[in-house]
Amino acid sequence: MLKTYFHNSKHISENKSQKKTIPTQYIDQKRIVDINKLLNAVRIEKKNETKKKIIFYSSVILTLGLFATLITIIK
């Protein structure tokens, strides 16, 4: 079925039969979920987060220390 649209003085034709359809998933499919795997994934993610924070804060402190040392040497 052909539809015609007018927007901002432009003519747009659209054919509905050529639109792609989204594939449907069956809801009644059962999944086996292991709670230990999920908890381990959360623990690993938390460890990685703390490592990133430690690295970030240590780099900030190192940068500030080097900047302060540079300023004292110049004066």
- Give Rg (Cα) of the chain: 30
Beta carbons of 39 and 48 less than 8 angstroms apart: no
Beta carbons of 5 and 12 less than 8 angstroms apart: yes
Residue 18 has a pLDDT of: 57
Tens digit of each residue's pLDDT (9 = 90 or more) over 21-53: 666 666 666 778 899 999 999 999 999 999 999
Beta carbons of 4 and 12 less than 8 angstroms apart: yes
Tens digit of each residue's pLDDT (9 = 90 or more) over 52-71: 999 999 999 999 999 999 99
Residue 14 has a pLDDT of: 55
